Every structure is written in C-alpha cells, then in structure tokens.
C-alpha cells in the first residue's frame, strides 16, 4: 500500500474508532507499516482520535526516528509497535486501544478472557496472548519485545 492510501485509511480508522467509543482520550495508538517495511505511520500522541487526519499522522523510520510530522507519538507507541513489526513481518497494522470491553478484562481477578462464555468468545479460543507484567511508562523496547513474542505464539490467521 502506498503512503497516501495508508494515510487515508489509518486516519479513517482513528475517526471510526472514536465514533464507536473505542478510544481513551489520546492514550491509545495505531500504526501502519508501509509496503517497504522500513517506515511506519503512527498516531500523533497529543491528538484525539476524532480529529486525526491523513496529514497529522507521523512518519517514523524502522529505527524509531521521526521522518516527518508535527509532534511525537505517544511514549508507549514505538516501544510496543516497532518490536512487533520486527518479530511479526506478517503484521501490517497495529491497533492498540482501550475499549470498554478490553478494559473490563483488566479488572478480572486473573485477567483472562473465558472463551467458553459464548459462541462469539469461542472464536478467540487459543488465539489470545497474555503478559503478566506491566511497565509504565515504557521507556525501552523490552516490554514491546515481550508483547511481540507473545503475539508470535498466538495468531488469528495462519
């Protein structure tokens, strides 16, 4: 996918997510790998999803250096997204959001999704990865590496 098309699509996903209530202020972040795999579009960290536009998306290099755009990504975005892209070349887009449903899982005693709850939940059986640690803020890629490894063990599509 070329950069112009990727920008339009990723900006639209931000706005749709906001309309559906799937974002949490400016603390969630999306990204899209460009075809070359050397550059990534990332949510601007201080922009509410409802006003993210194609031109406001940030363009980062594979090494995490900002190539173009005003501002910076959320401090958690690059340490999570870049290691996943490196570990999972099949991943082209990462949508990290704090939907009410996902947030509800974090208040469960064991924070596990019970795939026996319904036929819809059964779709996720054996496909959900969990981390037992949580670091705030993510100042290095260590936790991103753990997320990448966990995601490599569970795949929605093969």
Predicted local confidence at residue 140, as pLDDT: 59
Task: At 118, list the tokens.
Answer: 């319904």
In sequence order, what DSSP letters do the residues of 75-133 get, joined into one string? TTHHHHHHHHHHH-TT--EEEE---HHHHHHTTSSS----TTS-HHHHTTTT-----S-
Residue 147 near residue 80, CB atoms below 8 Å: yes
For the chain, the average pLDDT equals 83
Walk me through the domains of the chain, giving residue ranges and CATH numbers: 3-153 (3.40.225.10)
Minimum mean pLDDT range among 53-57, 98-102, 140-144: 140-144
**What's the chain's length in residues?**
158
pLDDT at 84 over 70: yes
Q: How confident is the model at residue 157 (pLDDT cuts 50, 70, 90)?
A: very low
Average pLDDT over residues 53-80: 93
C-alpha to C-alpha distances, 32 to 62, 108, 115, 131, 137, nearest whole angstrom = 12, 31, 29, 23, 22
pLDDT at 158 over 60: no
Angle of the 77-87 helix axis to the 142-153 helix axis, nearest 10: 40
Q: How confident is the model at residue 120 (pLDDT cuts 50, 70, 90)?
A: confident
Average pLDDT over residues 69-84: 89
In sequence order, what DSSP letters do the residues of 121-153 get, joined into one string? HHTTTT-----S---SS--SSHHHHHHHHHHHH
Predicted local confidence at residue 26, as pLDDT: 65
pLDDT at 70 over 80: yes
User: Who has greater pLDDT, 5 or 25?
Assistant: 5
């Amino acid at each position: 996918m070329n950069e112009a098309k990727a920008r339009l699509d990723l900006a639209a996903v931000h706005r749709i997510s906001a309309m559906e209530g799937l974002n949490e202020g400016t603390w969630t972040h999306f990204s899209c790998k460009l075809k070359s795999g050397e550059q990534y579009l990332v949510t601007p960290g201080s922009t509410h999803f409802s006003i993210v536009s194609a031109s406001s998306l940030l363009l980062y290099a594979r090494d995490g250096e900002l190539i173009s755009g005003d501002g910076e990504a959320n401090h958690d975005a690059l340490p999570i997204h870049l290691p996943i892209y490196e570990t999972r070349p099949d991943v082209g887009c990462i949508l990290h959001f704090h939907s009410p449903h996902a947030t509800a899982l974090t208040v469960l005693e064991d924070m596990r999704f019970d795939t026996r709850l319904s036929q819809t939940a059964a779709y996720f059986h054996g496909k959900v990865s969990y981390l037992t640690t949580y670091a705030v803020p993510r100042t290095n890629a260590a936790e991103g590496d753990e997320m990448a490894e966990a995601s490599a063990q569970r795949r929605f599509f093969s």
